[in-house]
Amino acid sequence: MLNPFILYPILLFTGFFAGLVDSIAGGGGLITIPALLSVGFPPHITLGTNKFQSSFGSFTASYYYVKKGGVILREAALGIFFTFIGAAVGVWVVQQIPGKILNNIIPFLLIAIIIYTFTKPNLGDIDIHPRLSKKVFYSIFGLLLGFYDGFFGPGVGSFWAIAFVTLLGFNFTKATGFTKVMNFTSNIVSFFLFLLAGQIIFSAGIAMAIGEVLGAKIGSGLVIKKGAKFIRPVFISVVVITTLKLLFDRYH
């Protein structure tokens, strides 16, 4: 493992960049998880420490969106409830079996998101009529995506955002805000369960968390000010990079 005088500045910068990107379009785990693995943390310690530090970034982004009126918490309550349950089950499962099983499926789901986004050039520009009721939407996607985030995680922000846009009819700005609330829910549940299992290195997590908070604050402000036209290219870029990274890990 690296010398602490080198390690912690690297982790702080990594956290800042991850928080910035994650607050805009998701995908922060794509940055932080490889960083933690690369400095020598075991897989389950990496997942636990990542959930600890990412909780700070997702909380900062969620708070900013709520404060600025981008998210009304009572509208998200049902989603928070089901995401809580899904994440708890996901963390329990990942502690029982290897976390690489989903590598075969997730890249292809992300490719489908890329294709769909490109074929709908005005996707997420404005609110549209929802295709599902909120009760049905949150009960399905809260459980599924909460589970996925607790179990594995990369790409979950992209899945939430595209689900909000296509099925609940949110514009990208609103979808991004609600996505961060769901992310924070699954992050904080996962953090406490990894904590109980003793799978968190707090010194590394705190260094990254400081960067996460700073990055999330800046990124959330950019979303609120610039709106959907700004989010769309960042969202597509993050989904493409996430897909390529997962495909590389799968076939390398």
Instruction: Please give the pLDDT value at position 136.
Output: 95
Q: Are 88 and 150 in contact (CB under 8 A)?
A: yes
Overall average pLDDT of the 123-144 stretch: 84
Nearest to 113 by CA among 234, 247, 243, 245: 243
Q: What b/e string do you get for 85-120 counting C-beta neighbours within 10 Å, with b at 16 or more?
A: bbbbebbeebbeeebeebbeebbeebeebbeebeee
Nearest to 182 by CA among 152, 212, 200, 158: 158
Q: What is the distance, to the nearest Å, from the Cα of residue 104 to the centroid of all Cα atoms in its chain?
A: 20
- Name the more confident of 225 and 105: 225
- Name the more confident of 183 and 121: 183
Nearest to 184 by CA among 221, 156, 225: 156
Nearest to 29 by CA among 151, 206, 111: 151
Question: What sign results for the dihedral spanned by CA atoms 240, 246, 247, 249?
Answer: positive
Average pLDDT, the chain: 83
Of 123-132, 203-212, 240-249, highest mean pLDDT: 203-212
Instruction: Please give the pLDDT value at position 123.
Output: 55
Instruction: Please give the pLDDT value at position 247.
Output: 74
> Per-residue pLDDT tens for 165-197?
999 999 888 998 999 999 999 999 999 999 998
Instruction: Please give the pLDDT value at position 240.
Output: 76
> Per-residue pLDDT tens for 24-56?
777 777 788 878 887 888 877 888 899 999 999
* pTM: predicted TM-score of the whole model, two decimal places: 0.82
Lowest mean pLDDT among 107-121, 133-147, 208-222: 107-121
Overall average pLDDT of the 88-107 stretch: 70
Q: What b/e string do you get for 122-149 counting C-beta neighbours within 10 Å, with b at 16 or more?
A: ebbbeeeeeebeeeebbbebbbbbbbbb
| Residue 251 DSSP class | H
Query: Per-residue DSSP letters for 62-86?
Result: HHHHHHTTS--HHHHHHHHHHHHHH
Instruction: Please give the pLDDT value at position 2.
Output: 61
Cα→Cα distances 148→62, 78, 102, 165, Å? 20, 18, 9, 19
- Name the more confident of 147 and 105: 147
Nearest to 108 by CA among 46, 155, 74: 155
> Per-residue pLDDT tens for 237-247?
777 777 777 67
> Per-residue pLDDT tens for 211-233?
999 999 998 888 888 876 777 77
Q: Does the pLDDT at position 57 exceed 60?
A: yes
